[in-house]
Amino acid sequence: MILDLDIGNTLTKWRLKNSNSNEIIDRGSIWTRDRWENSESIPDFRDIKVMRVSNVGGKEVLAEVERIARRFRVPLHVARSTIKFAGVRNAYKEPEKLGIDRWLGLLAAFHGFGACFVVDCGSAITIDVVKADGGHLGGYIAPGIRLMKESLKLGTKNVAIDPDDSHKGLMNFGTSTQEAVSHGIYLSALGHITLAYKQAFNISKLQLPIILTGGDAQLVAGGLEFESFCWPDMVYAGLELMFPVTDAEKLGNLSGKPINKNEIGLADLVGSC
Protein backbone atom coordinates (compact mmCIF):
# COMPACT_ATOMS: atom_id res chain seq x y z
CA MET A 1 0.00 0.00 0.00
CA ILE A 2 0.98 3.62 -0.62
CA LEU A 3 0.15 6.16 2.11
CA ASP A 4 -0.19 9.74 0.87
CA LEU A 5 -0.32 12.53 3.46
CA ASP A 6 -1.51 16.08 2.86
CA ILE A 7 -0.57 17.79 6.13
CA GLY A 8 -2.19 21.19 6.57
CA ASN A 9 -1.99 23.66 9.41
CA THR A 10 -5.35 22.47 10.78
CA LEU A 11 -6.17 19.12 9.21
CA THR A 12 -4.08 16.21 7.96
CA LYS A 13 -5.73 14.27 5.16
CA TRP A 14 -4.51 10.78 4.27
CA ARG A 15 -5.16 8.36 1.45
CA LEU A 16 -4.33 4.68 0.98
CA LYS A 17 -3.62 3.49 -2.54
CA ASN A 18 -2.94 -0.01 -3.85
CA SER A 19 0.54 0.00 -5.35
CA ASN A 20 -0.35 -2.74 -7.83
CA SER A 21 -3.85 -1.88 -9.03
CA ASN A 22 -3.63 1.91 -8.56
CA GLU A 23 -6.98 1.67 -6.72
CA ILE A 24 -7.72 4.08 -3.88
CA ILE A 25 -8.53 1.82 -0.92
CA ASP A 26 -9.34 4.22 1.90
CA ARG A 27 -9.01 7.80 3.03
CA GLY A 28 -9.53 9.89 6.13
CA SER A 29 -8.28 12.80 8.20
CA ILE A 30 -7.16 13.77 11.69
CA TRP A 31 -6.35 17.06 13.37
CA THR A 32 -2.77 17.91 12.51
CA ARG A 33 -1.70 18.37 16.15
CA ASP A 34 -3.10 14.99 17.26
CA ARG A 35 -0.60 12.19 17.83
CA TRP A 36 -1.08 9.50 15.23
CA GLU A 37 -0.88 6.52 17.56
CA ASN A 38 -3.70 7.91 19.73
CA SER A 39 -6.16 8.15 16.85
CA GLU A 40 -8.51 5.46 15.60
CA SER A 41 -8.86 7.23 12.26
CA ILE A 42 -5.51 6.18 10.84
CA PRO A 43 -4.34 3.35 8.57
CA ASP A 44 -2.40 0.31 9.76
CA PHE A 45 1.23 1.21 9.15
CA ARG A 46 2.20 -2.47 8.98
CA ASP A 47 0.58 -2.55 5.51
CA ILE A 48 2.41 0.52 4.16
CA LYS A 49 5.20 0.00 1.62
CA VAL A 50 5.93 3.66 0.85
CA MET A 51 4.84 7.09 2.15
CA ARG A 52 4.57 10.37 0.22
CA VAL A 53 4.13 13.60 2.13
CA SER A 54 3.07 17.18 1.49
CA ASN A 55 3.62 19.13 4.70
CA VAL A 56 2.79 22.72 5.62
CA GLY A 57 2.15 21.81 9.26
CA GLY A 58 5.69 22.59 10.42
CA LYS A 59 8.90 20.81 11.37
CA GLU A 60 7.50 19.27 14.55
CA VAL A 61 4.70 17.52 12.67
CA LEU A 62 7.08 16.28 9.98
CA ALA A 63 9.43 14.95 12.67
CA GLU A 64 6.56 12.84 14.04
CA VAL A 65 5.89 11.41 10.56
CA GLU A 66 9.59 10.65 10.12
CA ARG A 67 9.64 8.88 13.48
CA ILE A 68 6.72 6.66 12.44
CA ALA A 69 8.35 5.90 9.09
CA ARG A 70 11.54 4.81 10.85
CA ARG A 71 9.61 2.74 13.37
CA PHE A 72 7.80 0.76 10.66
CA ARG A 73 10.75 0.90 8.21
CA VAL A 74 8.70 2.59 5.52
CA PRO A 75 10.49 4.55 2.76
CA LEU A 76 9.45 8.20 3.06
CA HIS A 77 9.29 10.76 0.24
CA VAL A 78 8.82 14.37 1.40
CA ALA A 79 7.90 16.85 -1.33
CA ARG A 80 9.73 20.19 -1.44
CA SER A 81 9.28 23.26 -3.61
CA THR A 82 12.03 23.70 -6.18
CA ILE A 83 13.07 26.14 -8.90
CA LYS A 84 11.45 23.99 -11.59
CA PHE A 85 9.82 20.61 -12.02
CA ALA A 86 7.75 18.81 -14.66
CA GLY A 87 7.90 21.76 -17.04
CA VAL A 88 6.88 24.41 -14.48
CA ARG A 89 9.20 27.23 -13.38
CA ASN A 90 8.67 28.62 -9.89
CA ALA A 91 8.17 32.41 -9.81
CA TYR A 92 9.31 32.87 -6.21
CA LYS A 93 12.66 34.58 -5.63
CA GLU A 94 13.19 31.96 -2.93
CA PRO A 95 11.51 28.94 -4.55
CA GLU A 96 11.70 26.76 -1.44
CA LYS A 97 9.39 29.20 0.39
CA LEU A 98 6.43 28.57 -1.91
CA GLY A 99 3.98 26.41 0.07
CA ILE A 100 4.44 22.82 -1.00
CA ASP A 101 0.68 22.26 -1.28
CA ARG A 102 0.51 25.15 -3.76
CA TRP A 103 3.51 23.84 -5.69
CA LEU A 104 2.12 20.30 -5.94
CA GLY A 105 -1.29 21.62 -6.93
CA LEU A 106 -0.03 23.81 -9.75
CA LEU A 107 2.27 21.03 -10.98
CA ALA A 108 -0.68 18.64 -11.23
CA ALA A 109 -2.93 21.27 -12.78
CA PHE A 110 -0.37 22.20 -15.43
CA HIS A 111 0.27 18.53 -16.20
CA GLY A 112 -3.46 17.96 -16.64
CA PHE A 113 -4.57 21.18 -18.32
CA GLY A 114 -1.59 23.21 -19.49
CA ALA A 115 -1.92 26.94 -18.82
CA CYS A 116 -4.22 27.26 -15.82
CA PHE A 117 -5.62 29.29 -12.93
CA VAL A 118 -5.38 27.26 -9.71
CA VAL A 119 -7.39 28.03 -6.56
CA ASP A 120 -7.15 26.22 -3.23
CA CYS A 121 -10.23 27.06 -1.17
CA GLY A 122 -9.06 25.96 2.27
CA SER A 123 -8.22 27.80 5.50
CA ALA A 124 -6.66 30.33 3.18
CA ILE A 125 -7.66 31.00 -0.40
CA THR A 126 -4.53 30.66 -2.49
CA ILE A 127 -4.36 31.47 -6.19
CA ASP A 128 -1.59 30.57 -8.62
CA VAL A 129 -1.31 31.07 -12.36
CA VAL A 130 0.78 29.07 -14.82
CA LYS A 131 1.31 30.20 -18.42
CA ALA A 132 1.34 27.90 -21.43
CA ASP A 133 5.15 27.75 -21.41
CA GLY A 134 5.16 26.56 -17.78
CA GLY A 135 6.08 29.92 -16.33
CA HIS A 136 4.51 30.43 -12.90
CA LEU A 137 3.30 34.04 -12.62
CA GLY A 138 3.04 33.90 -8.83
CA GLY A 139 -0.11 34.17 -6.81
CA TYR A 140 -2.29 35.64 -4.11
CA ILE A 141 -3.14 34.51 -0.58
CA ALA A 142 -6.19 35.68 1.38
CA PRO A 143 -8.21 34.37 4.33
CA GLY A 144 -10.53 31.52 3.46
CA ILE A 145 -14.30 31.59 3.94
CA ARG A 146 -14.28 29.72 7.25
CA LEU A 147 -11.34 31.74 8.59
CA MET A 148 -13.16 34.99 7.79
CA LYS A 149 -16.23 33.68 9.58
CA GLU A 150 -14.19 32.73 12.62
CA SER A 151 -12.57 36.17 12.76
CA LEU A 152 -15.99 37.82 12.72
CA LYS A 153 -17.19 35.54 15.50
CA LEU A 154 -14.43 36.95 17.65
CA GLY A 155 -15.04 40.54 16.66
CA THR A 156 -18.84 40.64 16.41
CA LYS A 157 -20.93 39.83 19.46
CA ASN A 158 -24.06 37.68 19.18
CA VAL A 159 -23.76 37.03 15.44
CA ALA A 160 -24.31 33.36 14.72
CA ILE A 161 -22.71 32.26 11.46
CA ASP A 162 -23.63 29.05 9.67
CA PRO A 163 -20.32 27.41 8.65
CA ASP A 164 -21.98 25.27 5.97
CA ASP A 165 -24.06 27.70 3.92
CA SER A 166 -25.08 26.68 0.41
CA HIS A 167 -24.09 29.00 -2.43
CA LYS A 168 -27.78 29.31 -3.30
CA GLY A 169 -28.98 32.66 -2.09
CA LEU A 170 -25.58 33.82 -0.89
CA MET A 171 -25.42 36.37 -3.71
CA ASN A 172 -28.49 38.16 -2.34
CA PHE A 173 -28.44 41.13 0.00
CA GLY A 174 -28.72 39.91 3.58
CA THR A 175 -31.93 40.78 5.42
CA SER A 176 -30.50 40.00 8.85
CA THR A 177 -27.11 40.59 10.42
CA GLN A 178 -26.32 36.88 10.17
CA GLU A 179 -27.19 36.82 6.46
CA ALA A 180 -25.31 40.05 5.81
CA VAL A 181 -22.17 38.60 7.39
CA SER A 182 -22.39 35.23 5.58
CA HIS A 183 -23.26 36.75 2.21
CA GLY A 184 -20.63 39.47 2.56
CA ILE A 185 -17.88 36.95 3.30
CA TYR A 186 -18.94 34.85 0.32
CA LEU A 187 -18.86 37.85 -2.00
CA SER A 188 -15.44 38.81 -0.65
CA ALA A 189 -14.08 35.38 -1.59
CA LEU A 190 -15.69 35.46 -5.05
CA GLY A 191 -14.51 39.02 -5.65
CA HIS A 192 -10.95 38.14 -4.75
CA ILE A 193 -10.92 35.19 -7.15
CA THR A 194 -12.72 37.07 -9.95
CA LEU A 195 -10.38 40.07 -9.85
CA ALA A 196 -7.35 37.77 -9.82
CA TYR A 197 -8.75 35.87 -12.80
CA LYS A 198 -9.22 39.10 -14.75
CA GLN A 199 -5.67 40.10 -13.88
CA ALA A 200 -4.43 36.74 -15.18
CA PHE A 201 -6.38 37.31 -18.41
CA ASN A 202 -4.84 40.77 -18.84
CA ILE A 203 -1.38 39.21 -18.65
CA SER A 204 -1.90 35.95 -20.55
CA LYS A 205 -4.66 37.05 -22.95
CA LEU A 206 -6.15 33.58 -22.42
CA GLN A 207 -9.37 32.34 -20.83
CA LEU A 208 -7.52 30.00 -18.52
CA PRO A 209 -9.24 26.92 -17.10
CA ILE A 210 -10.03 27.42 -13.41
CA ILE A 211 -9.00 24.44 -11.28
CA LEU A 212 -10.45 24.40 -7.76
CA THR A 213 -9.50 22.28 -4.78
CA GLY A 214 -9.92 22.47 -1.00
CA GLY A 215 -12.83 22.13 1.39
CA ASP A 216 -14.81 25.09 0.04
CA ALA A 217 -14.16 24.43 -3.66
CA GLN A 218 -17.71 23.34 -4.39
CA LEU A 219 -19.19 26.32 -2.54
CA VAL A 220 -16.96 28.76 -4.43
CA ALA A 221 -17.59 27.09 -7.81
CA GLY A 222 -21.32 27.65 -7.43
CA GLY A 223 -20.91 31.42 -7.35
CA LEU A 224 -18.22 32.00 -9.96
CA GLU A 225 -19.26 33.60 -13.24
CA PHE A 226 -16.65 31.48 -15.02
CA GLU A 227 -16.82 27.73 -15.55
CA SER A 228 -14.50 25.67 -13.39
CA PHE A 229 -13.12 22.21 -12.69
CA CYS A 230 -13.07 20.75 -9.16
CA TRP A 231 -10.19 18.43 -8.31
CA PRO A 232 -10.25 17.33 -4.63
CA ASP A 233 -7.18 15.09 -5.01
CA MET A 234 -5.03 17.68 -6.76
CA VAL A 235 -2.31 17.81 -4.08
CA TYR A 236 -2.18 14.01 -4.00
CA ALA A 237 -1.91 14.09 -7.80
CA GLY A 238 1.12 16.36 -7.42
CA LEU A 239 2.69 13.76 -5.13
CA GLU A 240 2.00 11.11 -7.78
CA LEU A 241 3.72 13.28 -10.38
CA MET A 242 6.74 13.96 -8.17
CA PHE A 243 7.13 10.44 -6.76
CA PRO A 244 5.46 7.99 -9.16
CA VAL A 245 5.11 4.43 -7.84
CA THR A 246 2.35 2.63 -9.76
CA ASP A 247 2.47 1.88 -13.48
CA ALA A 248 -0.38 4.34 -14.09
CA GLU A 249 1.45 7.11 -12.23
CA LYS A 250 4.62 6.46 -14.22
CA LEU A 251 2.54 6.96 -17.38
CA GLY A 252 1.31 10.31 -16.05
CA ASN A 253 -2.25 9.22 -15.26
CA LEU A 254 -3.05 11.31 -12.18
CA SER A 255 -5.84 10.46 -9.74
CA GLY A 256 -9.24 12.09 -9.98
CA LYS A 257 -8.53 14.52 -12.79
CA PRO A 258 -11.89 16.00 -13.92
CA ILE A 259 -12.63 15.72 -17.63
CA ASN A 260 -15.45 18.16 -18.32
CA LYS A 261 -16.14 21.68 -17.13
CA ASN A 262 -18.20 21.74 -13.96
CA GLU A 263 -17.43 18.04 -13.49
CA ILE A 264 -15.77 17.13 -10.22
CA GLY A 265 -13.00 14.61 -9.83
CA LEU A 266 -13.80 11.79 -7.40
CA ALA A 267 -17.50 12.63 -7.42
CA ASP A 268 -18.18 10.05 -4.75
CA LEU A 269 -16.51 12.32 -2.24
CA VAL A 270 -18.31 15.58 -2.83
CA GLY A 271 -21.14 16.88 -5.00
CA SER A 272 -20.80 18.28 -8.47
CA CYS A 273 -19.71 21.83 -9.03
* Residues with a known catalytic role: 101
Q: What is the DSSP string of the chain?
A: -EEEEEE-SSEEEEEEE-TTT--EEEEEEEETTS-GGG-SSS--GGG-SEEEEEE-S-HHHHHHHHHHHHHTT--EEE----SEETTEE---SSGGGS-HHHHHHHHHHHHHHSSEEEEEESSEEEEEEE-TTSBEEEEEEEE-HHHHHHHHHHHSTT----TT--STTTTSPPSSHHHHHHHHHHHHHHHHHHHHHHHHHHHH-S-PPEEEESTTHHHHHHH-SS-EEE-TTHHHHHHHHHS--SHHHHTT--TT---STTPBSSTTTS---
